[in-house]
Amino acid sequence: MPWNRLSLTGLLLACTSLIDCLASPTAAADEDDYGAMRRRLRAEIEQVAAETADSTGRPRFSVRVMDAIDAVPRHRFVPARELKYAYANRPLPIGYGQTISQPYIVALMTELLEPKPGDVMLEVGTGSGYQAAALAKLVARVYTIEIVPQLAKGAVLRLEQLGYGNVEVRLGDGYYGWPEHGPFDGIIVTAAANAIPPPLIEQLKPGGRMLIPVGAPFSAQELIVLTKDANGKVSTQSVLPVAFVPLTGSR
């Protein structure tokens, strides 16, 4: 199938104006104004982690993960109309029927992925780039795929502006993964699939972990942790109920 790798130069030519590619025109905002909001959000994530420990097995998240979440300027990843809710612990619409995930869920999925500094990760569903930015603080390289052209364009520009040089965005169908850069130490899927895509399982390294919501669109979904042992044997574990937009593309 055809793939279209995105570059900053190509995107500038593809957009009618620079603003068309950006989700939020807030680049000049004083980052310090959001410090108190970030601290409140971190405290709320830590509280929810304690409350959901019976389901997740994680009463607290690692300092590495929480510091990475804290370091990402979420207000730069939301549309201007949602700016006042940027540090609310809830998902927000980003256009084209997609959302930026709830910060607690981003932290939980990142924690369960168990990222290490030398890891190479795959993300399916770039959206505005928020999850990729958090992962980029924790691993060596993040490859992320987005099927909506406008969102992919915006994510490339945003990540470039914010200095996330270890993230590469591709426009395409994430169902098939990114085999040229696999196998991956971890895979994170930020949209719900009816079943776990076999190409993603194939591209996961032995010893690797995949986080994916599984279930029918706008119906009961479960966050699944898939692990592959050293011999390639796959096992899955349901963590907790979730609500994600559906994974679009091939089935």
Q: What are the average pLDDT values for consecutive 10-residue runs of the chain, which has 251 residues?
A: 43 40 44 84 97 96 97 96 96 95 97 98 98 98 97 97 97 96 97 95 97 88 96 95 84 53
* CA–CA gap between residue 123 and residue 186 (Å, rounded): 9
Ranges of each domain in the chain: 4-18+29-242
Going from the C-alpha of 42 to that of each of 53, 68, 113, 213, the distances in angstroms are 16, 11, 19, 23
Q: pTM of whole model > 0.85?
A: yes
pLDDT at 30: 52
Task: Name the nearest CA neighbour of 21 among 145, 136, 142, 160.
Answer: 160
pLDDT at 220: 85
CATH architecture of 4-18+29-242: 3-Layer(aba) Sandwich (3.40)
Which positions are catalytic? 101
Chain centre distance of CA 6:
18
